[in-house]
């Protein structure tokens, strides 16, 4: 499967050959190939940009991840405690507990910056806090999110020229380079649904 650049870190749980696993996945700054073991089943939780784990700096997770030890089908270990392994229908409850106990924290300054607000601190302070919380630069986050949005629009049937105009790329060559770097597909492949499995939800047509 083609992996796609993404700005979020997450928790991932999977079972294979009767054994349970858990891990922390990090932001990805480029596309690549993600192995998908035969017969494995996965549950994943993506956390918003600006959140982070108290015990693991997000910068240490970029383009990588950590497998968590001592995982069973019922529980997993994180930050010195044991937690119930979530299923898709109760993942939100786990997130709420992790936030309530301070294991997942959020930098409100980063959240304000993402919404376009100008915090009452220097740009250097904002960028430093942004890097600490996300492992990425603000510019890097914008480029990755724009490329993912471009892929979704192309897969929904929009032309490359329209995507260039809508998302502010310089020209179609600029769009093509971004897609190659962050999505691992050409505009034509995305419009045609070609190129094999990809880690991006392109099944539904989008409305603006």
pLDDT in tens, 39-61: 888 999 999 999 999 999 999 99
Using DSSP, state whether 84 is helix, strand or coil.
strand
Percent of the chain exceeding pLDDT 70 equals 97
Q: CATH 1.10.10: which residues of the chain?
A: 138-192
Average pLDDT over the chain reads 91
pTM for this one? Answer: 0.89
Q: Provide the Cα torsion 111, 85, 39, 182; round to 10°.
A: 10
pLDDT at residue 87 is higher than 90: no
CA nearest neighbour of 131 among 50, 66, 65? 50
* Farthest CA pair distance, the chain: 53
Cα–Cα distance, 100 to 94 (Å, whole number): 10
Query: What CATH topology corresponds to 138-192?
Result: Arc Repressor Mutant, subunit A (1.10.10)
Radius of gyration of the chain from its Cα atoms, rounded to whole angstroms: 18
pLDDT at residue 203 is higher than 70: no
Cα–Cα distance, 7 to 146 (Å, whole number): 11
Cα–Cα distance, 27 to 135 (Å, whole number): 8
């Amino acid at each position: 499967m083609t992996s796609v650049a993404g700005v979020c870190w997450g928790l991932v749980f999977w079972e294979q050959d009767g054994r349970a696993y858990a891990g922390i996945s990090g932001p990805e700054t480029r596309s690549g190939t993600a192995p998908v073991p035969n017969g494995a089943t996965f549950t994943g939780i993506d956390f918003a940009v600006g959140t982070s784990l108290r015990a693991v700096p997000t910068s240490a997770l970029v383009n990588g991840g950590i497998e968590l030890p001592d995982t069973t089908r019922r529980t997993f270990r994180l930050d010195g405690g044991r937690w119930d392994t979530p299923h898709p229908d109760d993942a939100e409850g786990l997130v709420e507990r992790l936030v309530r106990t301070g294991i997942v924290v959020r930098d409100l300054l980063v959240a304000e910056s993402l919404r376009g607000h100008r915090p009452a601190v220097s740009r250097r302070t904002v960028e430093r806090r942004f890097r600490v919380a996300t492992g990425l630069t603000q510019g890097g986050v914008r480029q990755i999110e724009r490329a993912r949005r471009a892929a979704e629009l192309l897969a929904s049937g929009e032309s490359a020229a329209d995507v260039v105009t809508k998302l502010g790329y310089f020209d179609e060559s600029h769009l093509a380079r971004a897609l190659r770097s962050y999505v691992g597909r050409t505009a034509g492949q995305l419009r045609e649904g070609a190129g094999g499995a990809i880690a991006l939800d392109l099944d539904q047509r989008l409305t603006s």
